[in-house]
Amino acid sequence: MGPKFAQALARAGIRTVGEAAAQDPRWLVVQFGASGAMLADRAQGIDPAPVLAGGRERKQISREVTFSEDIADLGRLRSVLREHSERVGADLRARGKRARTVSLKLRWQDFTTLSRSQTLERPVQATSAILDVAFALFDEVVRVEGFHPVRLIGLGVTNFIEDVVQLELSEAASGVPRSGRGDTRRQEQIDRVLDALRERYGENSVGRGASNLPKP
């Protein structure tokens, strides 16, 4: 409803929704046609637009934690990144998505906030693959900016695609994954088993062996 319609309503003495609701809908239709019919419905709280279940699809999956005190322990920060990777990966798998972009967020003790991201050629879903990128981003920040005690650390993924693994032609012809791909698929299988166990027995019911995740 544009300004011309608003002016026409004003000339008819209708300046508020309440005034429109007080009018006979049939009169509104006679005076203003289709716009009058729409106004009559809206004034009565009737909106024909469909309601989308669940609202808009999330564009990002992320986890972050703000510490009560600044953390200067690299080992602890890497451990938190592992936990974030587990949670983010589980959310990706539950939604049937893969992500092309992994992002790291850090906040120093002076509240300087840094964000770094990497967009990947091959979308990821496995916890270990997400963590590989998280560690690489973290190490790059420390190399370039130096290390500072951390107040907040976060990890997120964006740029989603549907969970469809497309074999490259060479893989499909031979039936043998290229180097590293078989390990990635094995990690994804392990992830799904762990997801199922945690859903059934609780979030902390089962952990991943140290050999199944990247080393600091």
- What CATH number should be reported for the domain holding residue 171? 3.30.1490.100
194 pLDDT band, cuts 50/70/90, is low
pLDDT of residue 166: 44
Domain that holds residue 147: 60-212
Same domain, 26 and 95: no
- Model confidence over 132-178: pLDDT tens digits? 999 999 999 999 999 999 999 999 999 998 876 543 433 434 343 44
Same domain, 190 and 165: yes
CA-to-CA distance for 99 and 215, rounded, in angstroms?
22
Same domain, 116 and 22: no
CA-to-CA distance for 50 and 20, rounded, in angstroms?
23
CA-to-CA distance for 192 and 42, rounded, in angstroms?
47
| Residue 176 maps to a domain | yes
Q: What is the DSSP string of 136-153?
A: HHHHHHHHHH----EEEE
Task: Kindly report the pTM of this predicted structure.
Answer: 0.60
Number of CB atoms found within 10 A of residue 128's CB: 21
| Residue 53 maps to a domain | no
Same domain, 129 and 183: yes
Which among 146-155, 179-188, 205-214 has the top mean pLDDT? Answer: 146-155
Same domain, 34 and 96: no
Q: Return the higher-pLDDT residue of 164 and 120.
A: 120
* Nearest CA-CA partner of 44 in 25, 70, 66: 25
Same domain, 92 and 24: no
Same domain, 114 and 183: yes
- Model confidence over 36-50: pLDDT tens digits? 777 776 665 554 444
